[in-house]
Structure 1
């Protein structure tokens, strides 16, 4: 027991002692990094170092176009650090010669003087800055040449123009690249232009190291090769070779003997980027191979041995570069794995935040729904509400009658119970007998009260107000209940939406490879396969295939093969074909529905008019359901047409939002009942058919029965609900029926159902006519029923008529599945 306790105590202590040095090292590294950021970035000493190197950088051995553009960019972007940058520039120019230092200071002073004078007239300083640099350089260099030689030659003007042009371009580059060196400017990714500007700036800074050597090794060669392998490792062959070309070009302009160096750097960037899968060793090998191949042909003022030593020094720096720094740099360069992961993490974060906000809104709506519905539940103080309302009622009566009566004390002080019971009985009898009192109660009340007539009249008057208040209270309560149901429906929709947002594309790499292998073995070229879902009846696959010349490979070959592989019918959901032969087609494959619905309609307006009070709609909802609806506005003509049409439009939009059918119908009813005070009502006949299992739900609001013809059998669908808009609160009766393939669903308005003349039983007459039909074509059935009703009326159309016939069929794919051999079918 003691040993076990001792082990339990010693082991945690050992773990703490083991992890403590690692934790302290990480803490020390972070502290060192923060100290470097404070010294070099925040205090601006990095600008001092860069200014020193740029101040001594030359092009063609005599041009110094870097000083003023750098100073102008620093002055424009970080004015408080401009003196530090100027000190660095003058110090760097002084390492070349004193006249160079004086020239750098003079041109900078001339720029400040001209810029300060013209600043008040500038509207866009960033656009004017390169022009100020251009004219300042050309003016300063011409003035310098005139002071030195006492004359101006054509060569002096040409060199001044070249240096001013370079200064114009470098100003644009430095303005783009300097913000990247700021600790306060955190960018998610760099543009290609920003990457090139940063490379140019780094290369120009490194030209300031020309002539520096350590143990005979050239600093500029080591740093340039280190820069190339760094970007090749981080961003690949394209960016690596670009860095090599740009860096080598700038070095060759600074020193003509370094021209061969451009080939070495470009080749090293290309090989290093191609071998980046080998990590640092592979990139280093690419630089070493490029050094050997190029170094054999161009000596460049040194031996091959010296060039190899410089390469070894660059590889040494690269190998010991912290991986954290490389990863941090890769996050800012588009096309890298780290950048893609960073963007994916950002998108995931935004998705989670959005889903969280939607879920919060869902909770708010749910809380509001509970708040509204809580008023419908009786609480303790509401149990005696009836007695309290009776007391208020009698108080109002006595206030208007008994307060001025001389027998008030006699009735309400000495005989309180008797008077109270008499008034209560009078109120009850008037309420149930429509204002009449029984003779017995009337005589007894006249004996008891000296103002009996006035009291009874007042009670009758107060009853009118009481009933109005009760009706209003009931309407408010019903409205609360309706609002609570609507808010709950919105809450459920938003909750489902939040869950959909958080759904990620599942990892189906193995299944994608199997599909790709199966299709390629069949001889079909596939560029890319992306599987989003393999759920039964909910398959979602995207493919990219070469241009098929319009032969229909997706529908005729790929979809049938997917049907065999996945074990269910797959069809082409959408197809975006290329407009040129060498392009690609993007295709989406999804599960086909088990059933389809073919619908047809026949309708006619009263007396052959143009506007019918009936409206109809057939729509396929996004949730795999098919809706058929008929609405009949009260009366005929334009007003009834508008009412029925608006009813269906409102219902369609609510259903497409995902709200449940009952709540949708109650919402429409609420709008219709509150929108107008006129007695304009609408009926609604709604059928919702599930296309996966052919289950149907019928919601009938004041509508006529529907019929299902299944072979020689006719099934009647009927429900009893008042038309919409009459009352605010009503229960929706839902009738469910399982449909089968081949069934005919016949829905009609009252103009069809009650249209036949001299018919006592409309149900039997309609069943018989449907039974006698010899065709199963939906349009023919609709036309025949319409014709039979009109004929029974001797050709007269006495009401608006609408009949919709829908036929349920199995969804048979156009192309059968193609067996795929030697490929094991994937499990869902």
Structure 2
């Protein structure tokens, strides 16, 4: 289980011979929780770290740690910044009162300047190191001038060094402070974060320089302990890195500690190489390094003292609990614990990838069907229309200026049309020649027969080329459809292969079953697919409840208490016979729900409307309402509008952003046909988490939001889909509230009322006159009002959709489960 808001532990078993061991473990657990709460949650660790950094020095006189540490804490954990400031000032006071006064003054100046500059900053994180470096440099420059009343080159060099160090330390602290202040970190550490953490720990330990216990140096003991821990966890590479970095920091703080870097680096390498021997092997590595380096040169201290310091470090290391090292090992690359965490993460990513691939497969399948569908217009009607176009071009160049035009086309239309149609067919089939009989008959009727033959021959050339082009387009369309279908099948098979292994939640499944059975509810099977906060997905098989509603009234409230978030029944398939099982899906509840109502009517009371509408509940916690109006009326308009909504639904369900989805649909519809067939789209995307809404209006009429006695108009100017291949989509955002009524309609409703000059005012007045808040009743009333205003004549397709935003209030309160222990 990767991310959950509730972690389970095994129920307490029988108290027997192991009761004392359990009591000891429970006591240690409570003590550990108490320490974690005191230092991490309440922030007193920052107080202690600030105290050590306040007295940390570089080259025995430079103090560049204070301002970078405070600035980083102020940006990361602002509420804990006062504790950090107190620790820094107290630590600086141990060096000198002047140093404490400078630390406090420069911190106040930073707060004032940074707070004033926040109005113009677009990225505080990037600007912070520059602020710290410049402010500390100016402060140190002023301090040097006040003390000596003049500035020499050495002072300028020291100020520049401290400003650069402050800049770098700010970057390091910004990476490492979150590791010390977050008690439940889920992400795995990067290599840069590990190095920053090591540098920060070494910097903190420089604050212990000069501390001694029984003549043993505290900084030497703690630095060797740090190397032992990292060498034991991550091996020789990380151990030697920790040793070199820590030794380098100590050598910068005190030149007398330069030999210590060699000892730490060597002990890190040896300890890492001997980590297979567990803690004893790593400890032996430190002792070997201590003896070799100590015998090579005393380095400012006796060999006995160095060995005693290493012994103290080893004792601390051996007393370090296994739980702490195992927990730290999860975040360091190269460790088995890190690999296990990576495998968990990969299993989660596998499931998410499989779902997305499956959704994209559905998108490609829908595109394939869209390209492969035949034209709605019958072949015979299409042929008649093409013949009419062909003949109009011929007569425009021949008969239009003929003196017998009235005789041929007014008095003998049918005869002339039949002869010309026969001539066109024969010339098309016989390579431009006409039979003798037909030619003789036509010459008796027409005085410009040769001109007609020549014009028909010319037009046939264009007609045949056009037919050939249409055939190529149809073949290309079929080719694209086949390719898309193939891609869809490949992606669907790939998704099935990925989903063969479900994430392992066996322990949690058993504990849920045990908790339910302890409550007296029998459950046959539990399958947990996700325990992510806000995205819980659990399936259960429950015995037939005879319609008593156990799932909604008992199981969902108990899961809500266990998982500490509202769980509801998403889908329920009841048993078909008394001894069977009901299959139930439980999901996380959303903060808001949407109730919709729709009313529509076709032109002249027909059965097929050119308008289409759809309400889609997406899996991303969003709810989409869409209305599409195809150009014209009837079957073709319905086909275009319905195709637009079907493509929109598939693309949105795949997780593609709304603006990109509409652009994709526009490109598809523009390429799919050469006919001038367009469709409008009115889309509202409602986020069920916070009720924020986005409106995308493509050639559609305005929408209205009724909030009590207030009417809000939503409109945007975009061309209908299919006109231009490339266009920008304007998005209108609006924050909805519980109780709001969203009214969307096609142009047949908005522009439908007769004898109305201002449609906006008329619609707003009708909405304000409503005495009901039921979406379906409102939709019916609006449609009826528009039809009545037109004397019961429906001269255009009409569609109106009304949505009501409501708070999602669970019907049942959570039921506490006392026999299931949770980890704090």
TM-score by length of 2: 0.42
Kindly indicate whether structure 1 or structure 2 has the higher relative contact order, using CA contacts under 8 Å at least 6 residues apart: 2
The structure with more radius of gyration: 1
TM-score by length of 1: 0.42
